[in-house]
Amino acid sequence: MTRSPELTAAAPLTKLSEEESLFRDTVQDFAERDVKPRVAAMEQASALDPALIAKCFEIGLMGIEIPGELGGAAGSLLGHDLSRSPLTTGTAAVAPTTTAPRGSSAMNGERLRS
């Protein structure tokens, strides 16, 4: 069987673009600098620190896959996946919060704008 040239010409999925690498590094820094120091207090209070939620919006973690015109971050599924690992190290509290507004894009846009 002969391979199609367009199948072999694509960049490997294991090589991140500069933008993807920057996003991954930003999330890792956020998790280390802002999330981890608050874990014990948030677990004790059984609540997320509101400052973390604001920061999640600021760095593009909320609604990663939702189009920008609907209030999302206009990211990709890969961006979504790149954010999971750093945010679940030490605590799983923040990662589910950034992915909770799921459903239709229109619904998500309304949720993010409110």
**Residue 68 confidence (pLDDT):** 84
pTM above 0.85? no
Classify 18-113 by CATH class.
Answer: mainly alpha
Mean pLDDT along residues 22-47: 90
Q: Per residue in 38-55, pLDDT tens?
A: 988 988 998 889 998 899
- pLDDT (tens digit per residue) in 63-98: 888 888 888 788 888 888 888 888 776 666 677 677
Query: Looking at beta carbons, which pairs linking 83-87 to residues 24 or more positions away fall under 8 Å?
Result: 83/23, 83/24, 83/27, 86/24, 86/27, 86/28, 86/30, 86/31, 86/32, 87/27, 87/31, 87/35, 87/61
User: Is a pLDDT exceeding 60 seen at residue 106?
Assistant: no
